[in-house]
Each structure stands twice: as structure tokens, then as C-alpha cells.
Amino acid sequence: MIKVEELRRMLTKVGFEKTYLIEEAPNCSIYMGIYRDREFIIAVFKGTSSFYAKIIPATLVSTSHWQCNYIKYSPMGWYVFSDSIDDLVKRLGEKILKIIELKFPKQFIT
């Protein structure tokens, strides 16, 4: 898995104001990121040959469920897939803009 500080730095480059590590497991890391004053859960997974990530507005998941096993199988959220971590983070930046453009009511993305 990628180092926590390196991923946090990369997320900052694509527009996240802050990121906090919530959980770290061998093939999964969960972060809470703030993007344009909205909180998102970002789960980054290492598959057998690639990386993938899932983004969920933080208000849609109870804090007790901010865990790799729960987030992975939660029906809520959007996925991003890539062969490299650099490209994955770039795609995360693009995806988060699309999520915000969906214009969720403010109570869903705070």
C-alpha cells in the first residue's frame, strides 16, 4: 500500500483541503477528506493487479461504519479504478467534481 503521507500530499494536489487517516489495513486505507468544505470518506484499496477507490459523502455513513470491510460492501458511493496510484488520485479529483456537480442537498454533503 502507498504511504499515508504520500497519499495525503497527492490528495491535496487535486484539491482536498485536509485529509485524515481513519483506518489502515494491509490492502485498504480509509480517509476522511474535506473538499470545498464538504466531508467525504475515501477508501483506497490495493487489488491483485491494480488500485481502486470508493468515495462516499461522509454524512451517508455512520462513523461507526468508517471501516474497510463496511465501506467496501456499502451500496453507497462511487468507484474509481486505475493501474497506478498517481492516476487513481487524478481520477479521484475528477470524480469528486462530478459528485459535487450532482448538487446533493447540503445536508447530504456537509
Q: Is residue 107 domain-resident?
A: no
pLDDT in tens, 17-40: 999 999 999 899 999 999 999 999
Cell numbers found for residue 26: 494491509
What is the number of structural domains in the chain? 1
Q: Is residue 14 domain-resident?
A: yes
Q: Is residue 66 domain-resident?
A: yes
- Whether 96 and 58 have beta carbons less than 8 Å apart is answered as no
CB atoms within 10 A of CB 95: 16
Distance CA 76, CA 78 (A): 7
pLDDT in tens, 46-93: 999 999 999 999 999 999 999 999 999 999 999 999 999 999 999 999
Which range marks the domain in which residue 33 is found?
4-101
| In the block, residue with C-alpha cell 481513519 | 22
Q: Is residue 53 domain-resident?
A: yes
- Whether 3 and 11 have beta carbons less than 8 Å apart is answered as no
Q: Is residue 106 domain-resident?
A: no
